[in-house]
C-alpha cells in the first residue's frame, strides 16, 4: 500500500473507530509506528482535523466526515461477491437485503468501473453445494435465532447429537440462551448457554428440529464477546491413520475438522494425525474411504472398524 492510499485508509479507520493509537494503526497497516506518526502529520498539514491525545490515541474532530469514496473494479467485485455469499448462506431477509445492496453498489459505480467489475465478475462464481437443497430448515432457523438474539429471548429445540450419550440416546430437548451464530466449515453453529448442561455449548443448526423462540428473556454476560470467544479445546485423543497412495490426493482435498497434520511418505502414501474427543468420531470417515485408509492407532478404533466391517458382512 502506497502512502496516499494508506493515509486515506487511516482517515476511514478513524471515521469508523472513534479513537485509535498509533500502535493500533501500525498493526492494521503492517507498518511502523514512526511511519504512522509521519502519515498523521501529513494529514494534519493537508487540513484533515486529526486530534491526538497523549496516552489515548488519535481521533477525528467531531463533525468531520470524509465524503463517499469511489471503488476500484476489484473493490466493487469484492463487495458484490460478498452479497452473493450472503444471499446463498443467510436467511431470506438478509438475502433480500443482499440483492438490494448489490443493486445500489452497481448503481453508484462510474460506467468504466461498472463495466470492468462486470467483466471481472464473469470470471468468478460461487457454486452452491449439492446438499444445499436439504438445508431449507437451517436457513429458516438462522432467521429465528437472529430474532431471538436481537430480542434477547431464549430458544427451545430438539437436538440430535452425532454420537449417543452414555445412556445410548442421541436425541434431547434443549432450552438455551443464544449468544451468537458462527458459520464454520460450511455449516451454521449456534453458540448458546444450555440450561441442560449449565454451560456454553455449540449446536449445529442442521441437527435441530422444532426450533421455537420463547417468551423468557435472558441477560448476555457483560464479558462475553463473540468475536473474542475461543471455545475450550477438549480434543485430547490422538488418532493416526495410513492413507494409500491411490487415494492420497482425494483425501488431502477432503476437509476434516479433526485433522492435525499430514505427512507425505516416499511411496506416495500419507500418514495423517487427528485430534478428537472420542475415537468413534472418526469411524464413519475411516469407513467411507474403504480399504484406502487404515487406522494405525488407537487400538480401540481399530477394533471398532473391525466390528463394523463384520456387521456389514452379515448384511451382504
Q: How many domains does the chain have?
A: 4
Per-residue pLDDT of the chain (316 residues; tens, 9 = 90+): 788 888 888 888 887 777 899 999 999 999 999 999 999 999 888 888 898 888 889 988 877 766 666 677 888 888 888 888 888 888 888 888 888 888 888 877 778 888 888 888 788 777 665 455 446 678 889 989 999 999 999 999 999 987 776 666 789 999 999 999 998 877 889 999 999 999 999 999 989 999 999 999 999 999 999 988 888 888 899 999 999 999 999 999 888 888 999 999 999 999 999 999 899 999 999 999 999 999 999 999 999 999 999 999 998 8
* 225 inside domain: no
DSSP state of 20: B
What CATH number did the domain enclosing 8 receive? 1.10.10.10
d(C-alpha 102, C-alpha 105), whole Å: 5
**Same domain (yes/no): 207, 163:** yes
What CATH number did the domain enclosing 182 receive? 2.30.30
Helix (H, G, I), strand (E, B) or coil at 203: strand
Query: The domain containing residue 89 runs over which residues?
Result: 73-121
Q: Which helix (H) or strand (E) holds 33?
A: helix 33-45
Which residues have a Cβ under 8 Å from the Cβ of 131 and sit 6 or more positions away?
A: none
Record the cell numbers describing residue 236, joined without a space. 485430547
Secondary structure of the chain: what % helix, strand, coil (to 5)?
Answer: 45, 25, 30
DSSP collapsed to 3 states, 270-300: EEEEEEECCHHHHHHHHHHCHHHEEEEECHH
Beta pairing partners, 213: 155
- In the block, cell 501529513 appears at 42
Amino acid at each position: 500500500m502506497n502512502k496516499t492510499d494508506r493515509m486515506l485508509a487511516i482517515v476511514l479507520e478513524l471515521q469508523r473507530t472513534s479513537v485509535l493509537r498509533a500502535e493500533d494503526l501500525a498493526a492494521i497497516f503492517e507498518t511502523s509506528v514512526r511511519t504512522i506518526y509521519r502519515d498523521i502529520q501529513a494529514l494534519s498539514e493537508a487540513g484533515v482535523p486529526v486530534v491526538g491525545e497523549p496516552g489515548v490515541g488519535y481521533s477525528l474532530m467531531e463533525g468531520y466526515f470524509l465524503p463517499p469514496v469511489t471503488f476500484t473494479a476489484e473493490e466493487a467485485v469484492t463487495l458484490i461477491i460478498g452479497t452473493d455469499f450472503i444471499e446463498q448462506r443467510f436467511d431470506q431477509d438478509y438475502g433480500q437485503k443482499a440483492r438490494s445492496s448489490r443493486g445500489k453498489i452497481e448503481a453508484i459505480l462510474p460506467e468504466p468501473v461498472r463495466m470492468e467489475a462486470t467483466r471481472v465478475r464473469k470470471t468468478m462464481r460461487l457454486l452452491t453445494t449439492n446438499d444445499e437443497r436439504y438445508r431449507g430448515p437451517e436457513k429458516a432457523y438462522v432467521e429465528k435465532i437472529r430474532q431471538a438474539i436481537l430480542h434477547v429471548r431464549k430458544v427451545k429445540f430438539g437436538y440430535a447429537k452425532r454420537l449417543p450419550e452414555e445412556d445410548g440416546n442421541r436425541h434431547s430437548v434443549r432450552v438455551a440462551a443464544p449468544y451468537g451464530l458462527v458459520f464454520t466449515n460450511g455449516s451454521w453453529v449456534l453458540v448458546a448457554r444450555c440450561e441442560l448442561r449449565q454451560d456454553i455449548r455449540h449446536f449445529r443448526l442442521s441437527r435441530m428440529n422444532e426450533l421455537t423462540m420463547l417468551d423468557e428473556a435472558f441477560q448476555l454476560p457483560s464479558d462475553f464477546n463473540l468475536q473474542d470467544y475461543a471455545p475450550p479445546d477438549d480434543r485430547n485423543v490422538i488418532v493416526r491413520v495410513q492413507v494409500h497412495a491411490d487415494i492420497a490426493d482425494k483425501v488431502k482435498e477432503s476437509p476434516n475438522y479433526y485433522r492435525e497434520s499430514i505427512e507425505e511418505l516416499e511411496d506416495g502414501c500419507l500418514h495423517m494425525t487427528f485430534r478428537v474427543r472420542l475415537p468413534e468420531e472418526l469411524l464413519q470417515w475411516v469407513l467411507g474411504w474403504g480399504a484406502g485408509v487404515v487406522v494405525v492407532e488407537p487400538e480401540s478404533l481399530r477394533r471398532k472398524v473391525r466390528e463394523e466391517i463384520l456387521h456389514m458382512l452379515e448384511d451382504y
